[in-house]
């Protein structure tokens, strides 16, 4: 059978850097093909070439055996290649119905708006294909990230779709939403669509992939091998080039209480939460999307207004007051690094020092030498790569941007509490290790750590105990060393816990 899409010996250089050196990828109809690789391996370049956003320097694209050339994303879409991006491309101020109709609108030559909107029944049917039940007139801005991702997929699969390109589609999804997505993917496959699936999560590769290609340094080191022929270790080894030990990190004995929350309610619908985090203790906060786990974590860091009382080392912290929080030594790594964390046009060094300007400029005068002397060790410790502190933050990979946010908070004077949200979302394995090491290290130095994550392995590997949040209340506490299934049951609300 002819492949749906063949990318044959693709090469692409950016200046002196060879991003792709003859990588090939063959997508078969009705199969899910996983594309793996570390940040910088050439994954995104290859995907951009396939979806028409970049032109290759050498090599050929063929669809059903016939050579094709895409000069734009639009041309690739017309040929049936549908990209779903990591960064959502919905229109937040328009309604669900208008968003669902957006492609129809783009394809019609008629200006009359009445012909541009999908019939409501058809729109509802499309939502049904991804298991969404939404008010069609609701603005997209009111939806959760997970719902938006599913809506984006619903919008795209409504089209003539021969190759579906999913770039980290589950980064913002919870388990049930991800499971629903995989169902949709299988249904499309059964109809003969080829799916290209890019993810950092090996669990998901296990769950959906039929074939696997692994890129390293711009080449395919595993090229279209059936998933069943490969062990997890083989995949990781292929990505990293060396075997990595799965680290079990030593955590210290917790000391005196540092962060004390009493009756903390991040939102009007939430139950008052009481919790104590001790010096050197790592407390995980886990919950499905929309459970309120991330909101509770943000409130604990003073990053979000909330009812109730917060005390840090015995001193009152007014909820929502980040200035006071930083002064008391409360660090906060937000979950959405682009919207809430990064200063994209400022340098890596300036990003790292953002919380420390007072200490760096005692009389209001900033000394670049002092700034470099204080901040560079943190960037080195976080293994910033490439180590170019003067380069703008937006030019770094996602993993390295996340390292900048970690460095910024680790550098806070008198750090007592570190609240970290989704620290390794969309981050490659090496950066994940570095970030986990840093979290364990800072706990060993006596900092109280709150780790809110939807990555269960991360929660189980790093936390003394995991608080499970369901419907805005702390519903269960799972201690370190408990079976993973206990945590899963608690998250889903199945066990009495």
Partner 1 sequence: MTALALPLPVRSAWRRWRPGAAAWTTLGVFLLFAVLVPRFASSGNLVNVLRVAAILCVAACGQAIVLVLGGIEFSFGSSAALASVVGVLAVPWLGPAGGLAAGGAVVIAIGALNGALIAGFGLPPFVVTLGMLMAAAGAAASLVGGQPIDAPPSAAFAWPAAGSVATIPVPILLGAAAVTVLHALLSRSRLGRLWYLAGANPVAARLSGIAVGRVTFLGYLVAGAFCAVTAVVLTSRVGSGQPNLAPNLPFESIAACAIGGIPLAGGEGRAHQVVCGVLVIAMMNNAVVLLNFPIAAQQLVMAVVIIGAVLLQNAGSLPVMLRRALTRRPNA
Can you tell me the distance from the alpha carbon of 391 to that of 161, in angstroms, rounded to the nearest whole number? 40
Cβ nearer to partner 1, comparing 8 with 336? 336
Distances (CA, A) of 49 to 68, 287, 487: 12, 37, 41
Nearest to 193 by CA among 89, 103, 100, 81: 81
Cβ nearer to partner 1, comparing 29 with 398? 398
Q: Is the dihedral of CA 390, 47, 220, 171 positive or negative?
A: positive
Q: Is the dihedral of CA 116, 122, 128, 134 positive or negative?
A: positive
Residue 53 touches partner 1, criterion: CB under 8 A:
yes
First-to-final CA distance of the chain: 52
**Could you tell me the smallest distance in angstroms from the CB atom of residue 76 to partner 1?**
10
Q: What does the per-residue mask of binding to partner 1 show for 199-228, with x meaning CB under 8 A? A: ------------------------------
Residue 425 gets the label, from left (phi > 0), alpha (psi -120 to 50) or beta, of beta
Using CB under 8 A as the binding rule, the residues of this chain from 362 to 381 that contact partner 1 are 364-368
Residue 413 touches partner 1, criterion: CB under 8 A:
no
Task: Please identify which residue in 112, 243, 339, 369 interacts with partner 1, judged by CB under 8 A.
Answer: 339
Can you tell me the distance from the alpha carbon of 287 to that of 296, in angstroms, rounded to the nearest whole number? 10
Q: Which residues of 274-289 are buried (b: 16+ CB within 10 A; e: fewer)?
A: ebbbbbbbbbbbbbbb
Cβ nearer to partner 1, comparing 237 with 392? 392
Residue 343 touches partner 1, criterion: CB under 8 A:
yes
Task: Please identify which residue in 350, 424, 434, 453 interacts with partner 1, judged by CB under 8 A.
Answer: 350
**Could you tell me the smallest distance in angstroms from the CB atom of residue 475 to partner 1?**
27
Question: Is residue 54 reached through a cis peptide bond, with omega within 30 degrees of 0 on the bond before it?
Answer: no
Task: Please identify which residue in 228, 242, 248, 323 interacts with partner 1, judged by CB under 8 A.
Answer: 323
Distances (CA, A) of 324 to 306, 447, 454: 15, 18, 28
Stretch that binds partner 1, among 90-98, 318-326, 442-450, 478-486 (CB under 8 A): 318-326
Q: Is the dihedral of CA 75, 79, 85, 87 positive or negative?
A: positive
**Could you tell me the smallest distance in angstroms from the CB atom of residue 354 to partner 1?**
4
Residue 392 touches partner 1, criterion: CB under 8 A:
yes
**Could you tell me the smallest distance in angstroms from the CB atom of residue 434 to partner 1?**
19
**Count of all residues that appear for the chain in the document:** 497
The three-class DSSP label of residue 33 is: strand
Q: What does the per-residue mask of binding to partner 1 show for 75-114, with x meaning CB under 8 A? A: x---------x--------------------x--------
Cβ nearer to partner 1, comparing 285 with 475? 285
Task: Please identify which residue in 355, 443, 452, 459 interacts with partner 1, judged by CB under 8 A.
Answer: 355
Interacting residue ranges for partner 1, rule: CB under 8 A: 14-17, 19, 44, 48, 52-54, 71-75, 85, 106, 303, 322-323, 325-327, 332, 334, 339-346, 350, 354-355, 357-358, 360-361, 364-368, 386, 388, 391-392, 395, 408
């Amino acid at each position: 059978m002819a492949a749906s899409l063949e990318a044959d010996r693709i090469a692409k250089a950016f200046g002196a850097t060879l991003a792709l050196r003859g990588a090939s990828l063959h997508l078969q109809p009705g199969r899910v093909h996983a594309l793996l690789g570390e940040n910088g391996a050439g994954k995104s370049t290859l995907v951009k070439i396939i979806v028409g956003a970049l032109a290759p320097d050498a090599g050929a694209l063929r669809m059903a055996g016939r050579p094709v050339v895409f000069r734009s994303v639009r041309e690739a879409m017309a040929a049936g290649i549908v990209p779903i991006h990591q960064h959502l491309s919905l229109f937040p101020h328009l309604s669900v119905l208008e968003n669902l109709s957006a492609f129809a609108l783009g394809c019609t030559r008629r200006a009359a708006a009445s012909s541009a909107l999908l019939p409501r029944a058809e729109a509802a049917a499309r939502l049904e294909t991804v298991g969404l039940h939404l008010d069609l007139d609701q603005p997209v801005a009111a939806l959760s990230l997970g719902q938006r991702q599913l809506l984006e997929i619903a919008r795209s699969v409504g089209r003539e779709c021969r190759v579906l390109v999913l770039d980290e589609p589950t980064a913002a999804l919870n388990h049930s939403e991800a499971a629903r997505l995989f169902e949709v993917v299988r249904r499309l496959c059964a109809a003969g669509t080829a799916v290209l699936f890019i993810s950092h999560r090996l669990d998901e590769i296990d769950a959906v992939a039929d074939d696997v290609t692994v890129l390293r340094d711009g080449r395919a080191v595993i090229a279209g091998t059936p998933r069943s022929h490969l062990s997890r270790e083989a995949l990781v080894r292929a990505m990293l080039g060396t075997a990595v030990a799965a680290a079990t990190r030593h955590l210290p004995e917790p000391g005196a209480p540092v962060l004390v929350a009493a009756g903390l309610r991040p939102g009007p619908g939430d139950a008052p939460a009481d919790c104590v985090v001790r010096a050197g203790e790592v407390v995980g906060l886990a919950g499905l999307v929309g459970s309120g786990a991330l909101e509770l974590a943000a409130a604990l860091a003073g990053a979000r207004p909330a009812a109730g009382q917060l005390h840090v080392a015995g001193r009152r912290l007014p909820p929502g007051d980040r200035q006071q929080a930083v002064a008391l030594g409360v660090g906060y790594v937000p979950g959405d690094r682009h919207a809430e964390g990064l200063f994209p046009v400022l340098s890596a060094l300036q990003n790292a020092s953002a919380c420390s300007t007072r200490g760096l400029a005692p009389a209001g005068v900033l000394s670049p030498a002092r700034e470099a002397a204080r901040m560079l060790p943190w960037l080195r410790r976080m293994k910033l790569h490439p180590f170019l502190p003067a380069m703008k933050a937006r030019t770094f990979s996602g993993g390295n941007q996340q390292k900048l946010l970690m460095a910024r908070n680790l550098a806070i004077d008198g750090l007592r509490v570190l609240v970290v949200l989704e620290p390794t979302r969309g981050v490659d394995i090496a950066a994940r290790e570095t970030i986990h090491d840093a979290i364990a290290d800072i706990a060993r130095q006596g900092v109280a750590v709150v780790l809110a994550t939807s990555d269960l392995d991360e929660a189980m590997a790093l936390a003394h105990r995991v608080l499970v949040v369901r419907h805005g209340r702390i519903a269960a506490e799972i201690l370190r060393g408990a079976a993973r299934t206990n945590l899963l049951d608690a998250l889903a609300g199945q066990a009495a816990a």
